[in-house]
Amino acid sequence: MSKKLNIYLEITKKKTIAVALNAIGFYRIGKTEDAALASLLEYSQRYAEILNAGGCIDFQAPASLDDINIVTRYEGNATTAFGSPGIIPEEDKRKITEADREGYEKLLRICWDAFDKALASAEGKELQKGPRGGGRTQEKIIAHVRESALAYLRKQGQKVPKALHEDRGAIRIAILETLALAVKGEVPEKGPRGGAMWPTPYFVRSVVSHLIDHIWEIENRILD
């Protein structure tokens, strides 16, 4: 029997994003609510394959739309309209425990491994271009994921030395160290200029969802 997938929706005039609450990093976009839900259901098995491949997280994909429970509908913002989740759900506005940290680390390591495997599977192969010839190369995808992770770390008040900005391993270590700081209450709530930091659960959600985005992008664009 499938476990209920609890989600929230971010809704704008032209896009709706369905975001799973109890499947961190899993979201899909559609022009309408129905389209977003259908896409979430369609991709749920692929999300399960990523998590279950790690061997330490058992995720059961929903079997039908009846297994998807909409908890909250939010009015989307400019980030939503652009095509990425941009609302911090109420469920993420909390401190994390040591048990949370352990679970997040397992999830992150699984997703990093899946990302590395996707890159390896595409090595020496061409990635399909878009209709106008667009689309990042593997090297640009790697750089984009790295730069985004650095930006997410800044939303926890953390920085990686500039000399290590191109070191994927160092950035991953910094993310894990940030989780340890968060458990001890040492992640600031505001930045040096007064801007709000992200709650740590939302930070993890953002890191994981971005990794999964690009795992699927690589898999979908590999040309045999």
Residue spans of alpha helices (H) in the chain:
33-53, 78-82, 98-122, 138-154, 168-183, 200-221
Which CATH number does the domain 91-221 belong to among 1.10.15, 1.10.1660, 3.30.450, 1.20.120?
A: 1.20.120
What pLDDT, on the 0 to 100 scale, is given for residue 160?
Answer: 96
Task: Give the separation between CA 145 and CA 208, rounded to whole angstroms.
Answer: 11
What pLDDT, on the 0 to 100 scale, is given for residue 223?
Answer: 79
Reading the block at residue 100, the tokens are: 């949370």
Reading the block at residue 144, the tokens are: 């984009």
Which one-letter amino acid corresponds to residue 214? Answer: H
- Is the pTM higher than 0.85? yes
SS3 of the chain: helix, strand, coil, percent, to 5: 50, 10, 35
Which CATH number does the domain 5-87 belong to among 3.30.160, 2.60.120, 2.30.30, 3.40.50?
A: 3.30.160
Which one-letter amino acid corresponds to residue 22? Answer: N
What pLDDT, on the 0 to 100 scale, is given for residue 68?
Answer: 97
What pLDDT, on the 0 to 100 scale, is given for residue 1?
Answer: 42
Say if residues 18 and 39 touch (Cβ distance below 8 Å).
Answer: yes
The alpha carbon of residue 33 and the mean position of all alpha carbons in its chain are separated, in whole angstroms, by: 20
What pLDDT, on the 0 to 100 scale, is given for residue 133?
Answer: 60
Residue pLDDT tens, the chain, 224 long: 457 999 999 999 999 999 999 999 999 999 999 999 999 999 999 999 999 987 767 889 999 999 999 999 999 999 999 999 999 999 999 999 999 999 999 999 999 999 999 999 999 888 998 766 678 899 999 999 999 999 999 999 999 999 999 999 999 999 999 999 999 999 999 988 878 999 999 999 999 999 999 999 999 999 77
What pLDDT, on the 0 to 100 scale, is given for residue 154?
Answer: 96
Domain residue extents for the chain = 5-87, 91-221
Sheet holding 16-20, edge to edge: 27-30, 16-20, 5-11, 68-75
What pLDDT, on the 0 to 100 scale, is given for residue 102?
Answer: 97
What pLDDT, on the 0 to 100 scale, is given for residue 46?
Answer: 96
Q: Which candidate, 29, 130, 20, 40, places its Cα nearest to that of 76?
A: 29
What pLDDT, on the 0 to 100 scale, is given for residue 115?
Answer: 98
Helix axes 168-183, 200-221, angle to 10 degrees: 150
